[in-house]
Amino acid sequence: MELETRIVKAEKGLDEAVSLIKKGELVVFPTETVYGLGADAFNGKAVEKIFAAKGRPQDNPLIVHIASPEQVRDIAVDVPSEFFLLAQKFMPGALTVVLPKSDKIPFVVTAGGNTVAVRMPDNKYARELIARSAPLAAPSANRSKHVSPTTAQHVYDDLKGEVGLILDDGPCGVGIESTVLDLTSEMPAILRPGAVTAEMLAEVLGEVSLHGKELKIAKSPGMKYEHYAPKVTTVAAESVSSAVEYYDGMLAEGKHPVLVFRDIYRDVTQDRNLVSLGVTAEDYMRNVYSALRTAEKLYDVIIIETLKGAGIERSVMNRVVKAAGGKIV
């Protein structure tokens, strides 16, 4: 049965959201990274509804969101001291940590695995919802494999009829999914880069691996399937000149292309269709999903700028290369 989907300001919708979670229903909630589609992480039947609403494969695990670092003891066992060191510096924030799973967490959350991904979001409404109801198992609140949502309207566009309540707290401040760090491997390993960079983590842990292996049972989201993909042809441009050459070639073929670039290249892009990513790498990260969603509605070929470098640039490019299906021009 199709649901009536409502967007409600987060502060006004919290009581209803708490009630829905306690009843085993889904709620969309804001975080600093992207909007999440949440269910009670201890309620396997409720969590199953997430996969149905998104069209998400059951072997793609979910992140459990907590309201305080101490809640991790209900979610995981044998929690190492490194978790609490990381929590002091990065929680609340855009860091997810993979730990050994507690028996309280049903296997539907972990895709059958014995590890669980845990994070504490840096959004007061998200944490209040969790504190008043339960830890929330939640992926991004979009159709599976589509571009992640950074506004309530993005969620509505993808999940209208699949979820009843969307809590709206405006655009997400970070703009890409959290960093996922595996603490169950021999060396702490980044399974998915994000705004908390390898360099930042190394300052706390001393050493971090950037090459988390793709396992038969995935330890975190984003390891097994294509993600972040617009509905139209998308390529990443190695340089401004290659972007312009590809753009002009598409135009000659009768296509309707667009450059998704930062404003610093407006002297080159001014006579061509442009969706702006802002100015800095931080702007790019915050705006990239919104820009891709805007572009796919108006154009049939997206040519997106690539970034060079480590840190945030590396994290953003992880998403961009996946959005482009690995195609670089």
pLDDT digits (tens, 9 = 90+) for 126-171: 999 999 999 999 999 999 889 999 999 999 999 999 999 999 999 9
The average confidence (pLDDT) of the chain is 93
- Residue 223 clears pLDDT 80, i.e. is over it: no
Confidence of residue 226 (pLDDT cuts 50, 70, 90): low
Domains of the chain: 6-205 (3.90.870.10), 233-323 (3.40.50.11030)
Write down the pLDDT at residue 59.
Answer: 77
User: What backbone torsions phi and psi does residue 31 show, to the nearest 5 degrees?
Assistant: -135, 180
222 or 1, greater pLDDT: 1
pLDDT in tens, 2-30: 899 999 999 999 999 999 999 999 999 99
- Residue 216 clears pLDDT 50, i.e. is over it: no
Write down the pLDDT at residue 221.
Answer: 54
3-state secondary structure at position 96: strand
- Residue 222 clears pLDDT 70, i.e. is over it: no
Q: What is the DSSP letter of 213?
A: P
Contact of 180 with 194, CB cutoff 8 Å: yes
Confidence of residue 212 (pLDDT cuts 50, 70, 90): low
Structural Rg of the chain based on CA atoms: 20
Write down the pLDDT at residue 125.
Answer: 98
Write down the pLDDT at residue 60.
Answer: 85
pLDDT in tens, 291-310: 999 999 999 999 999 999 99
Contact of 26 with 163, CB cutoff 8 Å: yes
Q: Any idea of the CA torsion for 55, 48, 220, 215, to the nearest 10 degrees? A: -80
Instruction: Confirm whether pTM is higher than 0.75.
Output: yes
